[in-house]
Structure 1
Amino acid sequence: MTIDQHGPRVGYAAGAFDLFHVGHLNILRQARQHCDHLIAGVVSDELLEITKGHRPVVGLAERMEIVEHIRYVDQVHAEVLLDKLDTWRQLRFDVFFKGDDWKGTPKGDLLEREFAAVGVEVVYFPYTRQTSSTKLRAALDVLTLPAA
């Protein structure tokens, strides 16, 4: 990355990062290749409960500590706001990274329009389908079912 007259290109990649896995690592690695300074937004426990309908397996403080120690990440931010534009108003990033499972969806299209209005580029990366926190959580649920 090169620094232009406006300074370093700042990127923002938000996620639950619950049960951290290779898909999370891939997103952060790819994001860092497209910016000079990468901020990883770790979604709060409360916001996850609102958006996903459940609390994370691993609490916010621990998830933030894990993400903070990933070498591709320059800064960690606790994401407590539902509206990504409100987060942008706090952090002023230039590019927003998201898994391509949002691309072409109504919520992804809205995100692109809103960010375009403030000059933020949205970059999608391939969603890791073979490993996901949802699959890992389901496996944990099976392992912790009470015996009949």
Structure 2
Amino acid sequence: MGDRLVVGISSDQLNFSKKGRNPVYPLRSRMNILHAIKYVDQVFVEESLDLKREYIIEHQADILVMGDDWTGKFEEFRDICEVKYLRRTPSISTTEIIEVIKDI
């Protein structure tokens, strides 16, 4: 979809505010995982959903890509970038990871 990939990763506090629980992996671990992916050019921490517009502008994003569980929630940004929603990968979610861990 583009020539560079910049990934915003939710801070632990933002994750807690959205989901009511802490992430399975702490921020530093999640950032290390993303940095290890050769297609990722840059990773930054998202502290607030209210700052999404500022993040898009700061990182000069032409396209905002979100999982389809967010469909329709970011249409307000179509004035500054294209907004795409991708189908989520089945069985790849924190909830499913937690279930697998509980069964071990």
TM-score by length of structure 1 reads 0.63
Aligned twin of 1:93: 61
Tell me how large the CA RMSD over aligned residues is.
1.6
SS at match of 1:101: helix
How many Å separate the matches in 2 of 1:141 and 1:89?
A: 41
Aligned twin of 2:97: 136
Contact 1:38 1:75 in 2 (8 A): yes
**Paired residue for 2:86, among 125, 140, 147?**
125
Aligned twin of 2:74: 111
**Rg larger in 1 or in 2?**
1
User: Structure 2: any 5+ residue segments left out of the alignment?
Assistant: none
How many Å separate the matches in 2 of 1:129 and 1:96?
A: 21
Contact 1:64 1:76 in 2 (8 A): yes
Deviation per CA, 1:70-91, whole angstroms, max 9, x where unpaired? 0110111111122211322332
TM-score by length of structure 2 reads 0.87
User: Structure 1: any 5+ residue segments left out of the alignment?
Assistant: 1-33, 144-148
Q: Which runs of 4+ in 1 moved over 6 A?
A: none
How many Å separate the matches in 2 of 1:48 and 1:132?
A: 13
Contact 2:56 2:64 in 1 (8 A): no
SS at match of 2:65: strand
Identity %: 38
Q: Does 1:75 align with 2:38?
A: no
